[in-house]
Amino acid sequence: MNKGMKKAEVSVKKGRKDKRDERDLSVDGPIGDVELPIMEHLLELRRRLIVVLIPLGIVTLAVFPFSNISLRFIFINLISKDMPIFVYSPMEWMGVRLLFSFLFALSVTIPLLIYEIFAFMRPGLYPSERKFFLMVTIPSLCCYGLGAVFAYLFVLPLVFHYLIAYSGDIAQIALSAKRIFSLILYTAVGFGLIFQIPFVMALAVKTKLVTYSWLRDKRWIIYGLIIGIAFFVIADPTGISMIMAVVSIALFELGLLITRYLGRKAM
């Protein structure tokens, strides 16, 4: 009888071990997730940051000698060649060139940065979380780039044309290189974020955080928030905030169309 009980106990332990092994190998859990000391994680993070920072510095230094030509091309597309651009301190133009070179290098090395972040987090992520990370990151970057291009090609020429035409008969305009570049950067970043609206709405509906009907019913509240932020939080004399509000509302409507289609598809 004792032998029978021992055999039963061994078989139970074996069954538990088999189930544990199956659970470890299951695709529903993190694959290769090993408990490591905090110092090892910090060292790995440091190594991955160095892998990103070195190319970032190299590209910045490589672009800097050509920044004059690049900035001239950017400014000419927005402002007439006949209008001079001034600097109001000895280091102002140098600072603009350095900032442009850094931003250009950052845009080039962003894929490497995303890869290193993903590689650092990957061992602790479930397969579904890995897919979600890639599903969110790549379209988000595309939307951001589309918004920045839209701002440069359509919004900024309109704003500069209005400002120059409005002030031309009253006073002589002295354009500051630093302020122009800051305005370009502010507008590109702002519209890059605004163009995330349809994607964020589609993602929220896809993950069942909200529904199409909820977004549709809250439409006027969201419109009020957009207008309030544009006129009282980020208001500026150039009129860019008003354009942002109009584009945000249009993109929200586009997001409603997309989420409506996703809702029908899910049914």
- 15-47, pLDDT tens digit by residue? 444 444 444 433 344 555 566 678 787 888 899
Q: In this structure, which long-range contacts are made by residues 94-99, counting pairs with CB atoms below 8 Å and at least 24 apart in sequence?
A: 95/178, 96/71, 96/177, 96/178, 96/181, 97/64, 97/67, 97/68, 97/71, 98/60, 98/64, 98/67, 99/181, 99/185
Give the model's pLDDT for residue 154: 93
Distances in whole angstroms, Cα of residue 41 to Cα of each of 32, 46, 248: 15, 9, 41
Residue 171 pLDDT level (bands cut at 50, 70, 90)? low
Tokens of 188: 């590109």
Intra-chain end-to-end CA distance of the chain, in Å: 59
**pLDDT for residue 166 is more than 80:** no
Out of 76-80, 90-94, 153-157, which region has the weakest mean confidence (pLDDT)?
A: 76-80
* Residue 77 clears pLDDT 80, i.e. is over it: yes
Taking residues 80-104, what's their average pLDDT?
Answer: 88
φ, ψ at 150 (rounded to 5°)? -60, -45
Question: Which uninterrupted H or E stretch holds 42?
Answer: helix 38-63
DSSP one-letter code for 100: H
**pTM metric for this prediction:** 0.79
Backbone angles phi, psi at 261, to 5 degrees: -65, -40
In this prediction, residue 60 carries a pLDDT of 96
